[in-house]
Amino acid sequence: MSVGARHIPDRMHSPAARLLRRWETLLLAVAIGIFIANSLASPYFLNAWNLSDATFNFTEKAMIAFAMALLIIAGEIDLSVAAIVALASTAMGAAAEAGAGVPVLVLVGLGTGLICGAINGVLVTGLGLPSIVVTIGTMSLFRGIAYIVLGDQVYKAYPPEFAVFGQGYVWWVISVELALFAVLAVIYGVLLHRTSFGRAVYAIGNNPTGALFSGIRVARVKFVLFLLTGLMSGVAAVCLTSRLGSTRPSIAFAWELEVVTMVVLGGVNILGGSGSIPGVVLAAVVLGLVTFGLGLLNVPGIVMSIFVGLLLIGVIALPRLWAMGRR
């Protein structure tokens, strides 16, 4: 280096600095803060079984959020996921009324989710329709079918063994749902961050035309993502129906808002191109802790809905407000 040249230490690019600037680090700090606040606000929060119950506030929705994250990163969205859960649960209920066993019920739930995902995928990738318009339409379609089939009835003829998915425990306070949530988090984390498929998802979200000219089969990748979102909705339907032990057409009502909130709060760009699975995991935990803490304080459900809506708007607006403030 020549005499007189200035050397500026590259502190902002050190591993510690990069870690501190990550959105996931902020979410982790928020989760710890909420955990401490809940423990101080309610004497029942730190009970091991109560904490185990708190996980049911987010595990089923987070399963859908993992697939939704990939779909949004690719520049698409699926607002019919809650309706898919309702239709899959209705199909399982009808099968249970006909005397189907547990394996058949699971296959019916997952198969219904896949079919619904395929319908969305064909309409978006095959006909070139906007995903937000398509899935708003199929949201009404799938939920409407559930209401037509069930009406005011309730399906509850599920075999006792079916309860293991939503009420069973792997070990002590570790529920089957929580274990499945952890496994799916690892699977989707590897899929997005460690495979060529994940790299294709990022490329499509950043520049679909460029991805197409680079040899990526954009339509095929997006179709697979819609299939995954439908499949995860089917998985969530199995777990939720098993936990409740019954099916109503209003099951999982308005879940699409909470799923999208998890994804966006997790740092996934609503316009596509960026995001991570660890961020979605932390966002799910944050929302679960918040709703469980508010529940322990007897806060009405409508207040929780208002909070989730404001949180979604705030997270979307925060990056733009930050950019405006730095000008």
Question: Would 32 be classed as within a structural domain?
Answer: no
Residue 12 domain-assigned (yes or no): no
CB atoms within 10 A of CB 247: 29
Nearest C-alpha neighbor of 204 from the set 271, 135, 265, 122? 271
Tell me, what's the pLDDT at 5?
Answer: 46
Is 120 buried (19+), middle (13-18) or exposed (0-12) by CB count in 10 A? buried
Q: What is the pLDDT of residue 300?
A: 79
Tens-digit pLDDT string for the chain (327 aa): 444 444 444 454 667 666 667 878 888 888 898 899 888 888 888 888 988 988 998 999 999 999 999 999 999 999 999 999 999 999 999 999 999 999 999 999 999 999 999 999 999 999 999 999 999 999 999 999 999 999 888 999 999 999 999 999 999 889 999 999 999 999 999 999 999 999 999 999 999 999 999 999 999 999 999 999 999 999 999 999 999 999 999 999 989 988 998 999 898 998 999 999 999 999 999 988 888 888 887 877 777 778 777 777 777 776 666 556 656
Domain count, the chain: 1
Residue 4 pLDDT:
44
76: CATH = 1.10.3470
* CA-to-CA separations, 41 to 35, 135, 244, 291, in angstroms, rounded: 10, 40, 28, 13
Q: Does the residue 190 lie in any domain?
A: yes
Structural domain contains residue 31:
no
What's the distance, CA 82 to chain centroid? 11
Position 301 scores a pLDDT of 74
Is 129 domain-assigned?
Answer: yes
User: pTM for this structure?
Assistant: 0.90
Structural domain contains residue 11? no
**Three-state SS across 106-119?**
HHHHHHHHHHHHHH
pLDDT at 6: 45
The DSSP symbol for 55 reads: G
Answer for the pair 145, 85: CB distance below 8 angstroms, yes or no.
Answer: no
Identify whether 14 is part of a domain.
Answer: no
Residue 33 resides in a domain: no
Give residue 293's domain range. 46-318
